[in-house]
Copies of this chain bind each other. A is one copy, B any other.
Amino acid sequence: MNNLTKMKILKPANEVFEAFVNPSKIGGFWFSSSSERWEQGKKITVRYDEYNARLDINILQIEVNKKIIFQWGANGEERTVTITFYEPDHMNTLIEVKEEGFKINENDFVIEILDNKEGWVFMLTCLKAYLEFGITQLRSALVKD
């Protein structure tokens, strides 16, 4: 089973794409930092200081302004994320995030995929606020205890 979330952002696709790959932008809506520019074949270290988290992501594929595919997760439990940028006209982007690799038979499957959904919807809404209104202070507001 995969986890698919779609959101409309009133900005051209190149601006939405750039927000992910440019390390000077990601801190406005998602991770605190990203070790370098996202490019195909690279391993990127991202940090989320507020949750004391650090993880590596492997960039499997990049189609500039159109698609980013990466893999993350512990050894043997990797999941694949595909972010797609559709641009119906030059002032709108439909962004889709699909995460695959959930193990439906595991005990905590529903809890895990709900937590995953929570993270993606929150990040995408923060991204929309960042790109459309320049708001950078929504992030890290989900309470997880």
Residues of A in contact with B (beta carbons under 8 Å apart): 1, 3, 5-9, 94, 110, 113-114, 117-118, 121-122, 125-126, 128-129, 132-133, 135, 137-138, 141-145
- Within the oligomer, what is the number of copies of this chain? 2
27 contacts between A and B (CB under 8 A): A3-B114, A5-B118, A5-B142, A6-B142, A6-B144, A7-B141, A7-B143, A110-B110, A113-B114, A114-B114, A114-B117, A117-B118, A117-B121, A121-B121, A121-B122, A121-B142, A122-B125, A125-B125, A125-B129, A125-B138, A125-B141, A128-B141, A129-B135, A132-B138, A133-B133, A133-B135, A133-B137
Docked Cα-Cα span, A129 to B137, in Å, equals 9
